[in-house]
Amino acid sequence: MEILAFGVQSDEKPLMEKAFAGHHEVRCLDVFLNEDTAPIAAGYEIISTSVNATLNNRVLQTLAAGGAHLIAQRSTGFNNIDLEVAERLGLTVARVSYYSPYAVAEFAWTLAMAVNRRIVRASNRTRDFDFRLDGLMGRDLRGRTVGVLGTGKIGEAFTRIAHGFGMKLLGWDITENPACVELGMKYVDKERLFTEADLISLHVPLLPATEHIVGSAALRTMKDDAILVNSSRGGLIDTKALVSELREGRFTGVGLDVYEAEAGLFFLDKSLDVVEDDTLARLVTFPNVLVTSHQAYYTVDAVSQIIETTVANVLDYQAGRRSENVLVPSAPKS
């Protein structure tokens, strides 16, 4: 059987082909699944999608009509999938419920340190043989307060690094993580965390309850010299509200690996296009803002785990097994 995989990066393709070898053929496409590309999937029973795929009603209808029975998403997040429609159509949907949390946690710290120590500006200067230090002063993190929203596996890994820096630890989540408590984390309400933290990092999933969890009210209560990092989902931050605060000269730095309107932009070369997203265009002009294109997960370790789990999801589906990765259970069709 041949499996069709959408949104496969060039670095990811050999890992995909190696992982599926001996099980199935896999056809890797660099285009992302959306309403325009969904017809390509006609005749394929198993479809693998990336985090920026669009799996709305129309796309799912097209996939089902073309003979798809399994959607194996290569990510933990699934806010891009209309699960109710998938279930109504009899589609099985699986995701990757776990992969290396260190990839994302370490990258979140990379963003935090880069904006704190003005690394991008310093690098750009030295390329022009400008070796001045003016405007490059950062701050020690030791003794300062970090606020971690979401203390699951990634949040815990991020917290362990913060503990290594010697920071005071504040956390917020619906349940406390004993490992974080053991490190000295104090769980507080969101309002206190936003008010007291010198560095805030987001590690919660995007759900109706967490959409714009960092909105205008939260941004206004943050310290003027705070650092904000988001390596989870773009919709956690009200970007227009963030731009408004940045225009007032607030925040030491903002590191964003995700953006709430990234679909159709991230993972693509838009360097020769006119980007019509005025909010993003304004955001990247701020000297204290660093935007990367959803690459926090992108290590050979994490991607290999994601692909291996995707292979397991396919094999489980064919064998009629259900694991914790299945979001919409549906019996395999012969």
At 40-90, the pLDDT tens digits run: 999 999 999 998 899 999 999 999 999 999 999 999 889 899 999 999 999
Q: Which tokens go with 334? A: 């012969």
> Does residue 262 have an active-site annotation?
yes
Q: What is the pLDDT of residue 330?
A: 58
Active-site entry in 69, 203, 233, 250: 233
> Does residue 233 have an active-site annotation?
yes
Whether residue 275 is predicted with pLDDT greater than 90 in this model: the reply is no
**Reported pTM:** 0.90
Q: Which tokens go with 144? A: 């300062």
CA distance 67 to 1: 13
Instruction: Report residue 282's pLDDT band, with 50, 70 and 90 as the boundaries.
Output: very high
Distances (CA, A) of 173 to 51, 152, 243, 260: 24, 8, 26, 22
Instruction: Report residue 334's pLDDT band, with 50, 70 and 90 as the boundaries.
Output: very low
CA distance 190 to 324: 30
Q: What is the pLDDT of residue 333?
A: 47
Active-site entry in 95, 118, 203, 294: 294
Instruction: Report residue 37's pLDDT band, with 50, 70 and 90 as the boundaries.
Output: very high
Question: H or E segment at 248?
Answer: none
Q: How far is CA 85 from the centre of its chain?
A: 24
CA distance 145 to 198: 5
> Does residue 196 have an active-site annotation?
no
Whether residue 188 is predicted with pLDDT greater than 50 in this model: the reply is yes
User: Model confidence over 246-264: pLDDT tens digits?
Assistant: 999 999 999 999 999 998 8
